[in-house]
Structure 1
Amino acid sequence: MFLHRGGYGSFIVLALLILVVFPLTLDVFRLNLMGKYLTYAFVAVGLVIAWGYGGVLSLGQGVFFGLGGYCMAMFLKLEASDPVSTKIQSTPGIPDFMDWNQLTALPLWWKPFHSLPFSLLAVLVVPGLLAFIVGFAMFKRRVGGVYFAIITQAVALILSVLIIGQQGYTGGVNGITDLRTLLGWDIRGDHAKLILYFVNAVLLLAAILFCRRVTRSKLGTLLLAMRDKEDRVRFSGYDVAMFKVFSFCLAAVLAAIGGAMFTLQVGFMSPSFVGIVPSIEMVIYAAVGGRMSLVGAVYGAILVNLGKTWFSESFPNLWLFLMAALFIGVVMAFPNGLAGLYDSHVKPWLMRRGARSTS
């Protein structure tokens, strides 16, 4: 069966689904909605590396998703805040929320975000650096398990409070909104949304291929060994702490890329994506899809968000309870997620059918 040849079958099916089937069957609004779901899939894929392979459960991935989104939003907001567009403000040339909060000049740390290359670099470096600092400080002291998960929750809470509290510099609870153009290109039109969807989809597929290469390498084997028998790996002479730092940083960078693409496709970024609740939801994406499956993580992100959208539209008074029932039901019925269901039921059936067809 081509699905198992070289291990790329499930990846090819996913690629066809998001590059061909969705664009041909969904209108622009629904396709843009699907693009938003795929930005969350970056976080789920990163969690497969950090949690599934490295055994590092982070309940603060919304921090890195939000930081990536804010870095992109800052560039877009500065482009939308040129002196001509903001001439009615008390201080033209600065973002509107700064003018509302009586700032009279652009803060120094905002100025580099006039540059798109710098902003793209910041999307990768800022979350990666924060993840390195937190990971290095914790893992070198052998802090792990539930204690590390609690610390990442604390980081998410601290950052969300900081963003909301510094309203004049970050937009506060409303976030950074009214993002219009990227280097003069209007990102609000249907054609732009279609292009951004494909850019997002290709980046996601590239991220899956990169992570697959990591998991199939010696590094991936060591991550699994570290997860299951950490002391044995340490006694073999490997620096376990740095392996954990690597998996945590990679997950952070992938989440940040998803956040940047979210900002481009949706047109805003707010602290509602940074806190504890969205971070826990992101872990659920990986759990539903299967924490050991890169492709399954994407399906998990799509399924959970489709359910969230459909339940909220069809049952506005009950959708939270229905989402909780979905999470509990999937985890109880399929403890290894959708990927585990595929491995235990679908894959054997396909192999039996393939064997009958060749006999």
Structure 2
Amino acid sequence: MTKLKPWLPLIGIGVFAVLLLVVAPSVLSMHWLNNLGKYCCWAIAAVGIGLAWGRGGMLVLGQGVFFGLGAYAMAMHLTLEGTPAGSLPVFMILYDPSGSLPPFWEPFRSDAFTLAAIVVLPVIVAGVLGYALFKRRIKGAYFAILSQALAVALAVLISSTIRETGGDTGLSDFKYFFGFVLDDDANKVMVFMIAAALLIVCLLVVWQLNRSRFGELLIATRDAEERVRFLGYDPANIKLVAYVVAALMASIAGAMFVPIVGIITPAEIGASASILMIAGVALGGRASLFGPALGAMAIGWGQSSLGSSWPDGWVYILGLVFILVTLFLPMGLSSLFGKAKGLVWRSRAAPVEPAPVAAPELEEVNR
């Protein structure tokens, strides 16, 4: 029984994959399937946050930066895919009819370049940024503030470059996804399946990292960084790998978010969006495998359902849930399973008191 325990998460991932890839497309309407695809995108980013924050102790409040890098790379490609060669996107014509296409837009006409940018760009940015911060031993609240400041700076930069990025209006009205018409329901299901499959792959990657020697070193770095350094390992390199993996997952999430939702704006990558990702991870349980993904999906459902019908009250509900979880369940809802399991084991292991012996039987024993 003990030998099967390391494989239980793998069985859970298999069940989760069946629910997403088989059950959901067959029972959900197109509206809810599209919403579930959006939740899967947030869950992909949350899985990376769980690795960096839950296992590595790095409060990454600026994942909106990498989410935005992937999202805008995909959005520029989809915009150009629906624009005839030699013409400008519609929003550029509105702001400057006589202008030309910005040079950094042109490579995104290529499918291969776009996919490479979604993967390589966040790795480079996170690698340079993480190396600069971790080598200087910046951590804790300082690291969290710096990471969130970058998300705010990127959102402000995009808002101020109206002609190049659409500004606060963002990029929208996508018609094609690598040659497939996005208005076709069959293609919408295909895009959802890609997002769900990527979520499963990210869970498998984190599961493998957690059970590897790197996962042990990451936890050791979180709990006793100086001891890890004393043993001959560089904690900066260990944290850097986790940070880069989390950034890559956030970029992939942003790239899939664009064709599913159909729009990307600075509001989706700023400080509030980054905090929303953190809230989902905290709710589900940052140190568990499934907790971050399920928590992000729950927060996404709340934002879509309650946020649309009760936008003012939803913010207070989210704040209340975050406070209650922080106070009473600091390890998230996933810790309830561990507590329940501990209670069951303690009740089974409790010593059984011997039944009282009757007085005549005691006399026989004394004789």
Q: Name the Cα RMSD after superposition.
A: 2.2
Say which is worse superposed, 303-312 or 70-79, in terms of deviation. Answer: 303-312
Alignment of 1:142-161 (within 5 A): 142-161=137-156
Q: Distance in 2 between matches of 1:309 and 1:302?
A: 10
Report the 3-state secondary structure (helix = DSSP H, G, I; strand = E; otherwise coil) of the residue aligned with 1:82: coil
Q: Is the 8 A contact 2:119 2:251 kept in 1?
A: yes
Question: Structure 1 pair 4/338, CA: closer, same or farther in 2 (3 Å)?
Answer: farther
Alignment of 1:283-302 (within 5 A): 283-302=278-297
Pairing partner for 1:45 from 44, 47, 51: 47
Say which is worse superposed, 330-339 or 294-303, in terms of deviation. Answer: 330-339
Match in the other structure for 1:260: 255
Match in the other structure for 2:110: 115
Alignment of 1:187-266 (within 5 A): 187-266=182-261
Match in the other structure for 1:6: 7
Match in the other structure for 1:93: 87
Q: Does residue 345 of the first structure (1) align with residue 340 of the second (2)?
A: yes
Q: Is the 8 A contact 2:44 2:198 kept in 1?
A: no
Match in the other structure for 1:131: 126
Match in the other structure for 2:305: 310
Q: Is the 8 A contact 1:69 1:269 kept in 2?
A: yes
Aligned structure 1 segments of 4 or more residues deviating by more than 4 angstroms? 1-5, 346-353
Q: Is the 8 A contact 2:42 2:300 kept in 1?
A: no
What amino acid sits opposite 1:120 in the alignment?
L
Pairing partner for 1:168 from 163, 166, 176: 163
Q: Distance in 2 between matches of 1:132 and 1:172?
A: 27
Normalised by the length of structure 2, the TM-score is 0.88
Q: Is the 8 A contact 2:52 2:59 kept in 1?
A: yes
Report the 3-state secondary structure (helix = DSSP H, G, I; strand = E; otherwise coil) of the residue aligned with 1:108: coil
CA positional deviation for 1:257:
0.3
Q: Distance in 2 between matches of 1:165 and 1:332?
A: 39
Q: Is the 8 A contact 1:131 1:252 kept in 2?
A: yes
Report the 3-state secondary structure (helix = DSSP H, G, I; strand = E; otherwise coil) of the residue aligned with 2:105: helix
Q: Does residue 58 of the first structure (1) align with residue 60 of the second (2)?
A: yes
Alignment of 1:26-45 (within 5 A): 26-45=28-47
Report the 3-state secondary structure (helix = DSSP H, G, I; strand = E; otherwise coil) of the residue aligned with 2:172: coil
Q: Distance in 1 between matches of 2:135 and 2:6?
A: 41
Q: Distance in 1 between matches of 2:234 and 2:6?
A: 35
Match in the other structure for 1:323: 318
Q: Distance in 2 between matches of 1:325 and 1:94?
A: 46
CA positional deviation for 1:273:
1.3
CA positional deviation for 1:111:
1.0
What amino acid sits opposite 2:66 in the alignment?
F
Q: Is the 8 A contact 1:284 1:327 kept in 2?
A: yes
Q: Distance in 1 between matches of 2:145 and 2:213?
A: 30
Q: Is the 8 A contact 1:135 1:248 kept in 2?
A: yes
Pairing partner for 1:67 from 69, 73, 82: 69
Question: Structure 1 pair 326/93, CA: closer, same or farther in 2 (3 Å)?
Answer: same
Match in the other structure for 1:357: none
Percent of matched pairs sharing the same residue: 41
Q: Distance in 2 between matches of 1:177 and 1:11?
A: 33
Question: Structure 1 pair 345/302, CA: closer, same or farther in 2 (3 Å)?
Answer: same
Q: Is the 8 A contact 1:180 1:267 kept in 2?
A: no
Question: Based on CA coordinates, which of the two structures has the bigger radius of gyration?
Answer: 2
Match in the other structure for 2:365: none
Q: Distance in 2 between matches of 1:178 and 1:299?
A: 30
Report the 3-state secondary structure (helix = DSSP H, G, I; strand = E; otherwise coil) of the residue aligned with 1:196: helix
Q: Is the 8 A contact 2:282 2:322 kept in 1?
A: no
Match in the other structure for 1:140: 135
CA positional deviation for 1:316:
4.2
Match in the other structure for 2:27: 25
